């Protein structure tokens, strides 16, 4: 487990090679690379100095490999771009030449020099200084070996929506064990609430329920519904997870879904599955195909979980499945990877007061309209408005509600609203052929397979009226809703009377999981969506090693995209699990026992809980696997006992001296 230090040479004997990269004109356009190489030729410690047009190219790398062998170099410096780009490339080249990869230094003369300066003479001078500082560092670099660690080949999936289900199935099918945690009584997420799906109009429940059943029957998937992840500690390959089992008050193995409890329950509450458009009892099953198939007692609305207060459900349960004494328990699991698929919320009506969503029952959001369209919904699929159950003869659909508004709301595009609004309008016209559907839009974005054809059909065959412009205000006059907007193609103000208004509300971060994400220390973007490690090249991985992203927790996306991302995340988990053991970067901060006074300052500084106090010896100790080499402890240590490998105080001091002159 410990990093080995080998071939420690006296720095005076070290032979350093310097390779200066032109990066085409990226560097050579501003820095005189030849002069840099020439100047450094006779610098103490430098045994070889050259320049080349693209060091990262095959011939460039070959040049490094050959030179290391020919000149018997003990360390090299590549003066090129940022180490985040090609440090690994050159480390690999060094390894091929038989040199320890930690003897490689990258002197960044592009991002920190040529790209930010224009004066060639000064930029060249700066490049020389940067290179000199790295020579000073390279002379003291030690050869290091990566820290090796085992992988626990089990995955945790947080969230049982379509993304979580897909990731779970894929990973389980790779042959690994999966724990799927869902906080609601059933899996299915938001997708199970939808009616038909664009652009093929296949029924959402019909295509999702087979997946749900598969997950529940899969021998390698442990399904934990009505559970919440409490904490995740540890590190990639070796996470410890605490999962809170919420009391369901119904034993799911005994419940036979006879439904007698529901009949006698006196507590009627708003039904979340139907977006508050219908009612359920305090003991309920969210929807007929719920998995697991069991009733759940909602303690918040129950009269009191005691036979003294009510107890009716317990009395009628033949199977004795109801147990008021169930308590919350904590389960502990060990996993090697975590897929975060925690989903999204819709922007709230109160955020856009001028649209009257809070005041008027017939101003609803897209998900509510999905329930109205759904055959299993509160109206059995007949389009009726919530206020009086009338069939609306005119519906106005408002796209971009709360999206693409840099001034007051969310600046981003919620991506799916153009398509689902077209679908809503089309389905409304199918079911109410004499009804008028009007859509207000900013732009219609139909980038997706068969999407634009679908949208064209909405306009041409189903004759939905599209008005390009935003809505300013919605209010009620008599029993009509009046929608004020602008038609930006004619420049005229428009007023449309409607029986019902459907707002395509922006997709936003799921508020309920923000605390969890904070506990996971997983990075989010400015909108609260999960941040990917690289926006183009690592789109399904988190910056935090061992965490993978799937679905709308990462940003607005439609079903095919969410499923694709989930499968990609599962493949990445497969990559991780396929490795025999994991390597951990050895540039960590060990403790020098002789210097350590046991003050404990480093322990309080460590953001990764990698350091602790050995009470017997009175010194700090470090868990090399947990240490990420951030250096916070090294900066804080008052006695110099915490020295980061290849970034010691002595090295930093030498670098400064080399850069600023003696």
Partner 1 sequence: MKLHYYPGCTLKEKTTALDLSTREAMKRLDIELVEPADWTCCGAEYPLTEEKIVGLAAPIRVLRQVHQEGGDVVVTTCSFCYAVLKRANKAMQDDPLKHKRINAYLRDDIKIDPLTKERTTGFEDYNGEVKVLHLLEYLRDAVGYPKVKSRLKRDLKGLSIAPYYGCRLLRPHEEMGVDEPDEPRIFEEFLGAIGCTAVDYPFKQECCGSYLSVSLPAAATEASYRILRSARMNGARAVAVTCPLCFYNMDHRQDAIKEAFLDFPGLPVLFFSQVLAWALGVDKEVLGLAEHTVPVDDLFIENRAAEERT
Residues engaged in binding partner 1 (CB under 8 A): 353-354, 473, 475-478, 482
**Tokens 């002595």 — which residue?**
650
CB of 149 vs partner 1, minimal distance in Å = 55
Whether 130 and 33 have beta carbons less than 8 Å apart is answered as: no
CB of 584 vs partner 1, minimal distance in Å = 51
Whether 497 and 394 have beta carbons less than 8 Å apart is answered as: yes
CB of 475 vs partner 1, minimal distance in Å = 3
Burial class (CB in 10 A: 0-12, 13-18, 19+), 264: middle
Cα 110 to Cα 108: distance, rounded to the nearest angstrom: 6
Whether 360 and 388 have beta carbons less than 8 Å apart is answered as: no
Helix (H) or strand (E) holding 163: helix 162-173
- What letters, b where the CB count within 10 A reaches 16 and e where it falls short, cover 133-151? bbbbbbbbbbbbebbebeb
> Looking at 261-316, which runs of residues are DSSP E strands?
268-270, 279-281, 283-284, 296-297
What's the gap between Cα 9 and its chain centre? 45
- Cis amide bond preceding 114, omega within 30: no
660: phi then psi, degrees, rounded to nearest 5: -95, -5
What's the gap between Cα 561 and its chain centre? 14
Query: CB within 8 A of 652, min separation 6: which ones?
Result: none
Query: CB within 8 A of 556, min separation 6: which ones?
Result: 344, 412, 413, 414, 415, 416, 507
Distances in Å between the Cα of 487 and the Cα atoms of 421, 442, 468, 505 are: 18, 10, 5, 20
474: phi then psi, degrees, rounded to nearest 5: -130, 130
Cα 188 to Cα 172: distance, rounded to the nearest angstrom: 18
Max alpha carbon distance in the chain (Å)?
A: 93
CB of 508 vs partner 1, minimal distance in Å = 20
- Cis amide bond preceding 547, omega within 30: no
CA angle 408, 412, 413 (to 5 degrees): 115
Whether 601 and 620 have beta carbons less than 8 Å apart is answered as: no
Beta 296-297 vs 465-468: how paired, if at all? Answer: unpaired
CA dihedral 277, 282, 284, 286 (to 10 degrees): 40
């Amino acid at each position: 487990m410990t990093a080995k230090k080998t071939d420690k040479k006296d720095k005076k004997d070290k032979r350093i090679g310097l390779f200066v990269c032109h990066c085409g004109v990226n560097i050579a356009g501003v820095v005189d690379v030849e002069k840099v190489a020439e100047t450094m030729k006779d610098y103490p410690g430098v045994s070889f100095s050259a320049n080349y047009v693209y060091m990262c190219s095959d011939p460039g790398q070959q040049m490094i490999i050959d030179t290391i062998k020919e000149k018997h170099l003990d360390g090299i410096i590549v003066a090129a771009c940022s180490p985040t780009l090609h440090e690994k490339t050159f480390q690999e080249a060094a390894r091929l030449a038989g040199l320890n990869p930690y003897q490689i230094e990258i002197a960044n003369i592009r991002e920190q020099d040529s790209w930010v300066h224009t004066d060639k003479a000064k930029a060249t001078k700066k490049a020389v200084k940067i290179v000199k500082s790295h020579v000073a560092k390279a002379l003291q670099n030690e050869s290091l070996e990566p820290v090796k660690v085992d992988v626990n080949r089990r995955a945790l999936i947080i969230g049982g929506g379509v993304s979580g289900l897909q990731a779970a199935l894929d990973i389980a099918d790779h042959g690994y064990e999966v724990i799927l945690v869902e906080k609601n009584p059933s899996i299915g997420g938001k997708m199970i609430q939808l009616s038909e799906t664009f652009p093929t109009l296949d029924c959402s429940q019909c295509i999702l329920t087979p997946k749900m059943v598969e997950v529940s029957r899969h021998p390698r998937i442990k399904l934990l519904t009505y559970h919440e992840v409490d904490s995740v500690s540890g590190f990639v390959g070796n996470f410890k997870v605490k999962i809170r089992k919420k009391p369901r008050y119904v034993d799911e193995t005994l419940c036979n879904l006879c439904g007698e409890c529901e009949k006698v329950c006196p507590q009627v509450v708003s039904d979340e599955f139907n977006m508050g458009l219908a009612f359920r009892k305090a003991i309920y099953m969210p929807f007929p195909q719920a998995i697991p198939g069991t009733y759940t007692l909602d303690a918040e609305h129950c009269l009191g979980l005691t036979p003294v207060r009510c107890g009716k459900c317990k009395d009628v349960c033949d199977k004795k499945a109801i147990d008021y004494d169930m308590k919350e328990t904590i389960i502990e699991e060990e996993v090697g990877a975590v897929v975060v698929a925690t989903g999204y919320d819709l922007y709230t009506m109160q955020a856009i007061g001028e649209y009257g969503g809070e005041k008027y029952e017939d101003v609803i959001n897209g998900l509510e309209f999905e329930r109205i369209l759904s055959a299993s919904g509160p109206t059995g699929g007949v389009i009726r408005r919530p206020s009086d159950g009338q069939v609306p003869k005119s519906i106005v659909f408002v796209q971009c509600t709360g999206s693409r508004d840099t001034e007051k709301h969310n600046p981003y595009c919620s991506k799916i609203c153009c398509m689902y609004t077209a679908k809503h309008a089309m389905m409304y016209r199918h079911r109410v052929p004499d009804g008028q559907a009007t859509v207000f839009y900013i732009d219609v974005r139909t980038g997706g397979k068969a999407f634009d054809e679908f949208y064209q059909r909405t306009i041409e065959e189903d004759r939905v009226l599209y008005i390009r412009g935003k809505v300013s205000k919605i209010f009620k006059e008599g029993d009509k809703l009046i929608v004020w907007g602008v038609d930006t193609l004619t420049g005229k103000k428009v007023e449309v009377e409607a029986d019902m208004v459907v707002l395509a509300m922006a997709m936003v971060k799921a508020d309920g999981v923000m605390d969890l994400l904070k506990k996971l220390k997983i990075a989010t973007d400015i909108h609260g969506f999960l941040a990917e490690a690289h926006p183009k090249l690592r789109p399904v991985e988190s910056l935090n090693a061992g965490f993978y992203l799937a679905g709308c927790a990462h940003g607005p996306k439609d079903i095919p995209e969410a499923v694709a991302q989930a499968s990609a995340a599962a493949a990445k988990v497969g990559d991780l699990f396929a490795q025999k053991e994991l390597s951990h970067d050895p540039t960590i901060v060990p403790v020098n026992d002789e210097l350590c006074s046991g003050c404990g300052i480093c322990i309080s500084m460590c953001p990764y809980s990698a350091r602790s106090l050995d009470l017997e010896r009175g010194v700090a100790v470090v868990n090399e696997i947990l240490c990420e080499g951030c250096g916070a402890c090294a900066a804080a240590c008052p006695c110099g006992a915490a020295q980061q490998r290849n970034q010691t105080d002595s090295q930093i001091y030498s670098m400064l001296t080399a850069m600023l002159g003696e």
